[in-house]
Structure 1
Amino acid sequence: MGVFVASFAGTTMDTACRLQRYVIQELARTFLPRAPRRACPTCGYDVSGLSVAGKELESPHSHHEESTHAHTPIGHERDAEAEPGPAGEASGAAAADPQCPECGTICPLEQTEATAWRATLRAQRALASNLNPFKWLATVHGATLFAVATAAMLAAVPPPGQALSWQNAGMGGLILWPLFGATNQLLAGLAFIVIAAWLIAKKRPWWFIVAPTIIMIVLPAWALSWQAFVGNEANPSWLADAKWPLVAIAVIVLALEAWLVVEVGVRMVRKDSAPLEQSEQDR
């Protein structure tokens, strides 16, 4: 049984570090300079000014602006105008694949969502100053090191009311143990939100996920808020007991949840800016 408990603790810490890394990366990106409309997928160089057969490269999600060109990629228009024959095909292929002036990478006209995301992230890091700490936190290695380091520091902190010693080493996680249940349920609710947003963007049936999404978002958030700020005589709130680490993390978790819900709602209202839907139109 002890082996299973230790394995559970290890896998939980690993999952927590991974999730923390994802959150750190996304939050750090919000503090980086705005990326160009189109960037090189290798170095992040701004290639939005390049032209193909007299046409300027467009943003990966800008083809839907004109209905006459919503389903006609630029490369296909260029192929229609190119001269027939092997020479024309060769020149058309070269024109359809412009090179990045910075690193020489081929920049395809049509990018997948993952490629466009990586290009945007590289462009943001390239534009940011080397003294900007968020530039380092936006990378996979930087966010991972930060997540592991903070988790190790938390584990090294002794439980409240106990001295720092080797006997108490590794018990710092007990400080945040009261948050374990609520945050796990909120994580499930956030996963439901992501799935619902994906189904709506893909124009697939999504009615069946509405009820569990609302339940898994509202109930854990209400329980966490009650425990952090309300409480009762038998179970005082963390605010009344001056458990400031729990209060601070509860506020952060609730704020992140509200942020995600609002952002998804805005995306649903402004369907013209939904990346998944636009990528489908570009095809």
Structure 2
Amino acid sequence: VGDIAGRVMNRRVRLLFLFVLFMALTIVLAIFGLVIASVFKMYPSAIFPCLVQIPLAVLIGVWLHQKGVRLLLPSLFALGIMYATVVFGDVSILHQINSTLQAQSIFTWVVILLVYSYIASVLPVWTLLQPRDFINSLQLITALGLIVIGLVGAAFMGGAPIPGNPERPPLEIVAPALNLMPEGAPFIFPFLFITIACGAISGFHCLVSSGTSSKQLKSEPDARFVGFGSMLIEGFLATLVIIACTAGLGLGAEVKGELLIGENAWAARYASWSSAGALGAKVGAFVDGAANFLKAIGIPAQVALALMGVLVASFAGTTLDTACRLQRYVVQELASTFNCKEPGVSNPLALLQNKHGATLFAIVIAALVAVAPAPGQLNWSFETAGKGGLILWPLFGATNQLLAGLAFLVITFHLWRRGKPVWFIALPMVFMLIMPMWAMIVQLFFGSGGSKSWIESGNWIVVLVGLATIALEMWMLVEAAFMFPRAKGVLEAQARDEGITQPAETS
């Protein structure tokens, strides 16, 4: 998408876009290793199935790419192996393996996952990334089907019986229908619009679609089916997540060794903004709520939790290795801007144009962020390290949605140059450019919901990255404003020939 921005706008916009992408992907790489490590700590029965996915993906990749077999047999084989590891992956010696791996520090897991991301990024896409995503998609579809069946079963029969109580708890929405003043929460406007709304709009999707998905399509007409269909499935998943967190939790949740049901179970996770803000609480709410649906139709509790834990960890892993590959592209493109056409002048960043150098640079930066002390962490050690990504986590929502607005900007110019209507894309573009910046400015300078601003709290890394992001966005908008009146109906090649891809001179 950075190169596309350079073509339909100008080279400076390309460079600015790449810098924004670099910061956003650094946050993803630093935080998603922590997400996976947290899932493994909370649900150790998910560890072995996730590890099995890697050699299984390589086998499927070779099977499909080199043997040319049809998809049906590899699909059934992959699903069978995956669900066998979920059911039997925490018994006997496998339980001991999971327990040993669970005991590893967060930082150890982050390092292991970043090394894995390096390997997945430099290998051909068909070797690991593509078949692993294929396995995850099969797993997602079957898991969604099980959740829906469990949801329907719980609606008619109630949840799984509670120990000591023969009655099955009824399925109902236990979250309050309206809560205007949640304790410690920021104002809903504009902060609602910097949540990670992957089923509606997400900047990360523009990176994935342009960086990896587009290169795996059989033909260009498939893009609409794949892209729009994926967003529909994401939206469906988001709906099930909401139901799991607002109703599924009410069927039973263990909190500090005590089994709670109904509103008490929900309040234990969402009583205040701070209680819902912890990473473990976010992940655990969905896993426990969705597992309750599966338990309602007779699936054993351990298997249900393992299945949902594998689902979350697998997709976090997919995000991690895809983000690493995308960051590699971004680093290579940034390094290429230093190429000089004059003979005998070498690029000082030539090493970063190599896929190994670019990937190594990406994971080293992510590791440095991850190893930094987390907010409020006073006694730092390698045993407690690995949570440094939480420093930049407050920026993730805003930068992610800002990327969506900038992607709209690029699409607008693409259509505008071809004389196509742009109002239908320009309206959401303006909205998605204003909301993330507004939310970021509020958090930077004013604070919200009783929390201090980033400047008042002394979170200078977040302040620096936030200000840089705002500055880059403003610069891109200025470039766009200068170009927009003169770009209508002027295709990219014609614009380069006529020298009108640059802003007008103001002197």
Is 1:239 equivalent to 2:451 in the alignment? no
Separation in 1 of the partners of 2:407 and 2:482?
A: 18
Choose the corresponding residue for 1:249, options 442, 457, 465.
Answer: 465
**Alignment-derived partner of residue 427 in structure 2:** 211
Residue 6 of structure 1 pairs with residue 222 of structure 2: no
Tell me if the contact between 1:189 and 1:213 (Cα under 8 Å) persists in the aligned partners: yes
Instruction: Report the Cα offset of residue 213 of structure 1.
Output: 0.0
Given the superposition, is the C-alpha separation of residues 279 and 127 from structure 1 closer, same or farther in structure 2, using an over 3 Å criterion? farther
- For the Cα contact (< 8 Å) 2:325–2:359, is it kept in 1? yes
Q: 1:251 to 1:157 in 2, by over 3 A?
A: same
2:474 aligned residue:
258
How far is the alpha carbon of 1:25 from its aligned partner?
4.6
What is the alpha-carbon distance in structure 1 between the residues aligned to residue 339 and residue 322 of structure 2? 26
Write out per-residue CA displacement over residues 43-69 of structure 1, whole angstroms, 9 at most, x where no aligned residue: xxxxxxxxxxxxxxxxxxxxxxxxxxx
Q: Which amino acid aligns with 2:469?
A: V
Query: Residues 20-48 of structure 1, C-alpha deviation per residue, up to 9 Å, x if partnerless?
Result: 44554555455554xxxxxxxxxxxxxxx
Map of 2:390 onto structure 1: 174
The residue type paired with residue 6 of structure 1 is A
Using the alignment, how far apart are the partners of 1:262 and 1:29 within structure 2?
Answer: 24
Q: 1:148 aligns with which of 360, 363, 382?
A: 363
Task: Determine which of 343, 346, 352 is the counterpart of 1:129.
Answer: 346
1:224 to 436, 440, 449: 440
In structure 2, how many angstroms separate the alpha carbons of the residues matched to 1:226 and 1:4? 35
Spell out, residue by residue over 1:181-234, the C-alpha distance to the aligned partner (whole angstroms, 9 max, x if none): 111111111111111111112222212111100000011111101101222571
Q: 1:153 to 1:25 in 2, by over 3 A?
A: same
The amino acid across from 1:187 in the alignment is L
The one-letter code of the counterpart of 1:257 is E
Out of 412, 435, 438, the residue aligned to residue 196 of structure 1 is: 412
Residue 164 of structure 1 deviates from its aligned partner by 3.4
| Residue-by-residue CA offset, 1:82-113 (whole Å, 9 max, x unaligned) | xxxxxxxxxxxxxxxxxxxxxxxxxxxxxxxx
Three-state SS of the structure 2 residue aligned to 1:177 is helix
Call closer, same or farther: CA 1:167–1:7 in 2, change over 3 Å: farther
Kindly report which structure 2 residues correspond to 1:55-70, keeping only aligned pairs within 5 A, or say none: none
2:418–2:491 contact (8 Å) kept in structure 1: no
Q: Is the 8 A contact 2:444 2:455 kept in 1?
A: yes
CA separation of 1:223 and 1:211: change in aligned 2, threshold 3 A: same
Q: 1:280 to 1:227 in 2, by over 3 A?
A: closer
2:394 is paired with a residue whose SS is helix
Secondary structure at the residue paired with 1:235?
coil
Aligned 8 A contact 1:202 1:276 in 2: no
The letter for the 1-side match of 2:314 is S
The 3 A distance-change label for structure 1 pair 198 and 190 is same
Alignment RMSD, CA only? Answer: 3.4
Aligned counterpart, 1:267: 483
Q: Work out whether residues 200 and 206 of structure 1, in 8 Å CA contact, stay in contact via their aligned partners in 2.
A: yes
Structure 2 vs 1, CA of residues 254 and 173 (structure 1 numbering), >3 Å: closer, same or farther? same
Q: 1:172 to 1:2 in 2, by over 3 A?
A: farther
In structure 1, the partner of 2:31 is: none
What's the secondary structure of 2:383's corresponding residue? coil
Whether the aligned pair in 2 keeps the contact of 1:159 and 1:168 (CA below 8 Å) is: no
- Name the SS for the 2:374 alignment partner: coil
Deviation at 1:16, TM superposition (A): 4.3
1:128, distance to aligned residue in structure 2 (A):
4.3
Distance 2:491 2:337 in 1: 17
Number of residue equivalences: 190
Gap runs ≥5 in structure 2: 1-307, 499-507
Q: With structure 1 as the length reference, what TM-score do the two structures score?
A: 0.56
Q: Contact (CA 8 Å) 1:17, 1:151: kept in 2 or not? A: no
TM-score with structure 2 setting the length: 0.33
Residue type at the aligned position of 1:198: H
Give the 4+ runs in structure 1 shifted more than 6 A: 279-282
Deviation at 1:168, TM superposition (A): 2.2
Amino acid at match of 1:239: I
What one-letter code is carried by the residue in structure 2 that aligns with 1:150? I
**Identity across the alignment (%):** 49
Aligned to 1:278: 494
State the Cα distance separating 1:262 from its structure 2 match. 2.4
Read off the aligned partner of 1:168 and give its amino acid letter. T
Q: 1:210 to 1:228 in 2, by over 3 A?
A: same
Deviation at 1:163, TM superposition (A): 3.2
Contact map agreement 1:156 1:171 (CA 8 A) in 2: yes
Assess, with a 3 A threshold, how the Cα gap between structure 1 residues 183 and 245 changes in structure 2: closer, same or farther: same
Greater RCO structure (CA 8 Å; 6+ sep): 2
Q: Secondary structure at the match of 2:421?
A: coil
